[in-house]
Amino acid sequence: MANSEEVGKGPVRPNYEEEEGDREPPDFENGNGEAEDGDEEVEGEEEDEEDEDEIDEGPLPRKHISDASRLIAQRSKLENLIERMRKENVKLRVHDILIKGNTKTKDSLIEAEVEAIKNASTMQELLEAAGVANAKLQRLEIFDSVKITLDSGPPELPGTANVVIEVAETNNPLSGECGAYTKPAARSWTFEGSVKYKNWLGYGDLWDGSLAYGPNQTSEVSAGVYFPRLKQLVTPLVARLSLLSQDWLEFSSYKERSLGLSLGLYSTRYHDLAYNLGWRTITDPSQMASRSIRRQLGHSLLSSLKYTFKVDKRNSVVRPTRGYAFVSTSQIGGLAPDHRSLRFVRQEFDLRYAVPFGFDRAAMNFGISAGVVLPWGNGFMNKPSSLPERFFLGGDFSPVCTIGGPTTVWGFKTRGMGPTEPRREVKDKNNSENNDSPGRDFVGGDLAVTAFADLSFDLPIRWLREHGIHGHIFAGAGNLAKLTENEFRSFSFQKFLETFRTSVGVGVVVPTRLFRLEGNFYYILKQQEHDRGKTGFRFSISAP
């Protein structure tokens, strides 16, 4: 009614001014005591017309003044509210949440993502919850825009607010990408492509299919689905079917093919629990595999439960300059009654810490990783561990941005260190004089430990600093050991430390949004007889 009253009072002022304008001419004439001549009468008429024009234009500046006063009043109320919020909690309750713009997305999905808004009891909590809800909805990647507006509640319910959520669903739910990636050190390349379809069922679901083909090593075809919220489930639902083929003939004289299903059971910010079911086949087309490799040829069933705990407080995964990260992965296999089911227990730890120096963005990164895998069951220490579950170290990628367990040491090629066995000799009847050694197979280890230190710093050229290109000096070390088949009896920590492989180097890093490109010079300080470490300059590409 206040606005109505203001509208009703508006015309009163113009009427009052018109009466004053009508009375001015008589007063003007009575003041002179006589009538004016013709010219003066014309001037009087012109003055009357100007007065009338002023009378007609009178309401406009009054209206502008009224709008300005209203804006000033609203600004004053906002400033008072902000000042009050600084001093105390402003009690407020959410009366209703209105959702607009979703033609395909279920209301239940949006309501689940903004659940914290309903529980807000103060203005401060409501503003914070609205910001978090906006970020969650954007993270679903099914909306082009998200707008959350806080409005006053019904007049009969003071101290309440309505929350209006306006979303704009993406116009093109189908997307895809492809690319070819090379590994200069391994002299190999891979082609990768993927297709994604978003929000098919309206639950924020993401359907994707991917293909990765590498003629020299790995090929994979997979399809999966991801539900951030489904019905009454409080955690995301993930399922993926994959066909994987890996060629390790050059390093370990075997090929591996597996058809598997992965099902995510529980997933939060720090915890992840997944079940894996797969059928593996290991073959040796070369007929030259070593004794321990030949013993694991054939079919096997993988039925395992995998739990991952991860905390990452680093400011960047490509070039961390402060913070820490910790990952623990536990896996148990053999959760099936079939005698071909692989029975093993595998545990990995990975700890990272970045210390800033306070100048030129210089920072020191430390990392240490460890892992162990053992079979379980009657007489488990007499049995060999599963070949694909063992640890293999080496590869031209950086340990700075790869986290999850012991994987590599700078300067060593893929599967380029650890226990080895001689391959089987195949005599050539046509060339009996050929006595070349068939080489050795890297058979992996049951225990693996790696550590590194990396000092990164800005380069003195401004253009390089603006694009994030920086230099680094690094050192790395690592080792593998066999524990199964009674090898643990001869294991010695002192010998394990004495046989650590070590390397140092210097290089230039080019970070991008997708990967980390490095040009490094490696110098091998220590390696064992059959290791494949090499001093020299090489490029490497690492994906976080």
The CATH number of the domain holding residue 499 is 2.40.160.50
Sheet holding 160-169, edge to edge: 93-100, 160-169, 143-152
**Residue 116 and residue 164: Cα distance in Å, rounded?**
14
Q: What is the pLDDT of residue 90?
A: 76
Q: What is the pLDDT of residue 55?
A: 43
Sequence-distant (≥ 6) Cβ neighbours of residue 377 within 8 angstroms: 334, 343, 383
N- to C-terminal Cα separation, the chain: 61
**Cα–Cα distance, 396 to 540 (Å, whole number):** 5
Based on the fold, state whether residues 267 and 318 are members of the same structural domain. Answer: yes
- Flag whether 44 is in a domain: no
- One domain, residues 232 and 335: yes
272 within domain boundaries: yes
Q: Which tokens belong to 111?
A: 């309501």
Domain assignment of residue 225, given as a range: 174-424+439-542
Looking at residue 322, its pLDDT comes to: 94
Closest to 412 in 3D by CA, of 382, 387, 455, 448: 448
Asked if 105 and 202 count as a contact pair (C-beta separation under 8 A), the reply is yes
Does residue 6 sit within a domain?
Answer: no
Q: Which pLDDT belongs to residue 544?
A: 64
Question: Does some domain include residue 73?
Answer: no
Supply the pLDDT for residue 541.
79
H helices present in 58-191, as ranges:
59-87, 107-113, 115-118, 123-139
Q: What is the CATH number of the domain that holds 121?
A: 3.10.20.310
Last residue of one domain, picked from the residues 148, 169, 190: 169
**Residues 198, 96 share a domain:** no
Q: Which of 108, 142, 169 is the last residue of a domain?
A: 169
Same domain, 153 and 227: no
> Any bridge partners for residue 99, and if so which?
165
Q: How far apart are CA 358 and CA 400, in angstroms?
A: 20
Same domain, 496 and 518: yes
Name every residue whose Cβ is closer than 8 Å to that of residue 157 and which is 6 or more positions away in sequence. Answer: 95
Domain finish residue from 115, 143, 169: 169
Tokens of 354: 């970045």
User: In angstroms, what is the C-alpha Rg of the chain?
Assistant: 37
3-state DSSP of 427-496: CCCCCCCCCCCCCEEECCECEEEEEEEEEEEECCCHHHHHCCCEEEEEEEEEEEECCCCCHHHHCCHHHH
- What pLDDT is stored for residue 429 in this prediction? 58
Crossing angle of helices 12-32/2-9, nearest 10°? 20
Domain check: are 120 and 244 in the same one? no
Using alpha carbons, select from 172, 454, 498 the residue that is nearest to residue 314: 454
By DSSP bridging, strand 501-511 and strand 470-481 are antiparallel
Residues of the chain with pLDDT under 70: 1-65, 77-78, 81, 84-85, 179-189, 215-216, 231-232, 427-436, 544
Domain-located, residue 35: no
Q: Which two tokens stand for residue 247?
A: 């060629």
pLDDT value for 183 = 55
pLDDT score for 39:
43
Asked whether residue 417 falls in the same domain as residue 396, the answer is yes
- Counted residue by residue, the chain has a size of 544
Task: Report residue 388 CA to chain centroid gap.
Answer: 28
Asked if residue 206 belongs to a domain, the reply is: yes
> For residues 266 and 268, what is the distance between their CA atoms, to the nearest angstrom?
7
Could you give the residue ranges of the DSSP H alpha helices within 88-188?
107-113, 115-118, 123-139
Specify if 143 maps to a domain: yes
On whether both 119 and 137 belong to a single domain, the answer is yes
Query: Based on the domain organization, do 327 and 386 belong to the same domain?
Result: yes
Q: Rounded to an integer, what distance in angstroms lies between the CA atom of residue 449 and that of residue 472?
A: 23
**How many domains, the chain?**
2
Task: Report the pLDDT value the prediction gives residue 13, as an integer from 0 to 100.
Answer: 36
Question: DSSP H helical segments within 226-347, as ranges?
Answer: 249-252, 291-294
State whether 365 and 498 are in the same domain: yes
Determine contact, residues 496/466, Cβ cutoff 8 Å.
no
Place of tokens 């914070």: 128
Q: At what angle do helices 12-32 and 38-57 cross, to 10 degrees?
A: 160
**What is the pTM for the complete model shown?**
0.75
- Predicted pLDDT of residue 252: 92
The candidate with the shortest Cα–Cα distance to 218, out of 242, 189, 194, 195, is: 189
CB 443 within 8 A of CB 462: no
Instruction: Give residue 279's pLDDT.
Output: 95
Contact 142, 105 (CB under 8 A): yes
Does residue 160 share a domain with residue 180? Answer: no
Domain match, 186 and 308 both: yes
β-pairing, 160-169 vs 174-183, is unpaired
258 domain residue, yes or no: yes
Judged on CB neighbours under 10 Å (0-12, 13-18, 19+), 499 is middle
If DSSP codes are grouped into helix, strand and coil, which group holds residue 62?
A: helix
Q: Give every CB contact of residue 457 below 8 A, 6+ residues apart in sequence.
A: 360, 361, 362, 470, 471, 472
